[in-house]
Amino acid sequence: MNKIYQKYKAEYDEDVKKYGDKTSTHISATDLAILIMDGLKKKYPEYKFAKTSRYFAGGSSVDINLQTGWKNLSEEKSKEINKFIDSYSGAAFDGMIDLKYNEKIWLMPDGSVTAADNGGGTSGSVSGYIFPKPSEDAIKISSGAWVMFDAYPKYKTKAYKAYSEYQKQKNQEAA
């Protein structure tokens, strides 16, 4: 059983007792980053990733960087990883009406996630959705955090130095 799931399960059960089954439990960006990293280790064991969680006025964010494997990463594989990471996102943006809105996710005991709801749409270009509880043990979490993926190493790491040198060499060969 996933540690993050265990941490929030009792709180979620208590919230459901108080507020009904439409409730969700807030998860910190730090715990969300840990949850994403656990998922990445299971799904993409051939790569190494780094995480950063940040808090700022108006919200929080989680940045995931690819530390190894960037040399041979295809555009297709990068999009696949990005889609996987994005499934953990707790925030989205409707550019039509210039609005950030929250997305909630179902967290399963094994640490996997699936979409839960987005509050019913924004009256802009975003359609609302509400997905039923996928299993009896699932808990609905909300982070409000932006989640981003960069297919290159975290800045100021050994891996980034190697990446930077590789890019310089590639640019010189192309010139």
Residue 156: pLDDT band by 50, 70, 90 thresholds? confident
The pLDDT > 70 percentage for the chain reads 98
97-120 pLDDT, tens digit per residue, is 888 888 999 999 999 999 999 876
Give the rounded distance of the alpha carbon of 36 from its chain centre.
6
| H-run or E-run covering 139 | strand 139-142
Query: Cβ neighbours of residue 127 under 8 Å, at least 6 residues apart?
Result: 121
* Mean pLDDT (whole number) for 140-156: 92
Give the residue-averaged pLDDT of 19-47.
93
In what helix (H) or strand (E) does residue 63 lie, and over which residues does it extend? strand 59-66
Q: Look at residue 95 in the predicted model and tell me its pLDDT.
A: 81
pLDDT in tens, 116-140: 998 766 677 888 888 999 999 999 9
At 171 the pLDDT is 86
Distances (CA, A) of 167 to 12, 68, 152, 161: 46, 14, 11, 10
For the chain, the average pLDDT equals 91
Cβ atoms of 30 and 161 within 8 Å: the answer is: no
Domain count, the chain: 1
Domain that holds residue 20: 3-174
Residues 6+ apart with CB under 8 A from 99: 93, 122, 124
Residue 67 in tokens? 């530390």
- Residue 19's pLDDT is what? 87
pLDDT for 121 = 65
pLDDT score recorded for residue 91: 87
User: Residue 172 pLDDT > 70, yes or no?
Assistant: yes
Q: Residue 81: is its pLDDT beyond 80?
A: yes
Q: pLDDT class for 93, splitting at 50, 70, 90?
A: confident
Q: Is 153 exposed, middle or buried (0-12, 13-18, 19+ CB in 10 A)?
A: buried
Structure tokens at 134: 């996928």
